[in-house]
Structure 1
Amino acid sequence: MACAAEEDLFENIFLADDRHHVEGYQEGFEEGKRQGWQDGMNHGRMHGAKLSAELSFYSGFVTTWRFLLQADPNPKARKQLKLLETLSEMTQAFPIEDPQSPNFEEDMEKIRAKFRQVCAVLHIPTDFHGYINSPGQLSF
């Protein structure tokens, strides 16, 4: 019987390394998973905030230029207003609440393209970095 007790003791010592390795792996895996979720959420918040700021910029841009062009008797102003209205409709229809939308990125690219078109028709530059107090804030 002493032999069986000694074998159990040696087996426990021998298997302790494996047991600690498995436990350490599980703890590390759980911590990595938790940290991954946290990093993912932070990245999502930051990306969402940038996207919201970009859409808000377009909305403010449209509002400002609508106001400026409403009283303009120039026939070009009607075309410019129509393009501004289209940009406004696109930003309002954008599925900001549904980032899983199948056309999310494609719709955002269409909005950016429409913005560039509006800027071209209005003869204004699309580089707004020089007009912003915080360098690099608007990087779309």
Structure 2
Amino acid sequence: MASVSGSDDLFDTILLADNRFRGEGYQEGYEEGSRVGIIEGRSHGSLHGAKIAGEEPRRVTKPKVAFYYGFAFTWKCLLQNSTDAKASKRLKTLESLISIIQSFPHEDPTYEKLQEDVERVRAKFRQTCSLLNVPADFKDCVNQSGMSF
């Protein structure tokens, strides 16, 4: 009888090896996937965070959040003492753009509505440019060769 139970244990070991190896393989794959996922996630986040926060050299025609803020702040300074009838409406639009940008969660990489808010900023920027009679696309200004005074 001892030989029968010994062969049963050997048989059980062989049958259960598939489950054991599947479990070990799953665990190894999960750990490797998690490690690679973190590396790829950081790389992806850095790339897209940089696109949102600043200007990409190849895509100067699509300025980003930092540019919008500087643009709005500069125009606000230029128009704040204006007596023009349209200046009040322009200033309100500029202040709205500045407010949206200042409430933007710059330091929260997990912010779920990031793309929606970027689109809101872009739309407000285009509206502001329209009110100021300024082209929203600056590629003509950037592509000029040299500067003149």
The residue that corresponds to 2:147 in the other structure is none
User: How far is 1:119 from its partner?
Assistant: 0.8
3-state DSSP of counterpart to 1:125: coil
Q: Is structure 2 residue 25 aligned with structure 1 residue 24?
A: yes
TM-score, scaled to structure 1: 0.69
Give the alignment partner of residue 93 of structure 1, picking from 100, 103, 108: 103
% identical aligned pairs = 48
1:78-133 CA-partner distances (Å, limit 9, x unpaired): 44333222211221122333466676554433322211111111222222345558
Distance 1:50 1:35 in 2: 23
CA distance in 1, matches of 2:93, 2:13: 77
Q: Per residue, is there more helix in 1 or in 2?
A: 1
CA RMSD of aligned residues (A): 3.1
Greater mean alpha carbon deviation, residues 93-102 or residues 116-125: 93-102
- Counterparts of 1:27-42 in structure 2 under 5 Å? 27-42=28-43
Residues 99/31 of structure 1: CA separation in 2 closer, same or farther (3 Å cut): closer
SS state at 2:86 partner: helix
Show structure 2 runs of 5+ residues with no match.
Answer: 55-63, 144-149
Amino acid corresponding to residue 40 of structure 1 in structure 2: G
Which residue of 108, 111, 125 corresponds with 1:115? 125
Residue in 2 aligned with 1:52? 53
Deviates further, 28-37 or 75-84: 75-84
Show structure 1 runs of 5+ residues with no match.
Answer: 134-140
* CA shift for structure 1 position 60: 1.4
TM-score scaled to structure 2, two decimals? 0.66
**AA matched with 2:37:** G
Higher relative contact order at CA 8 Å, sep ≥6: structure 1 or structure 2?
A: 2
- After TM superposition, give the deviation of residue 41 of structure 1 in Å: 3.3
Hey, what's the Cα distance between the residues in 2 that align with 1:102 and 1:22?
Answer: 34
Counterpart position of 1:62: 72
What SS is found at the alignment partner of 2:134? coil
User: Using the alignment, how far apart are the partners of 2:37 and 2:124 within structure 1?
Assistant: 36
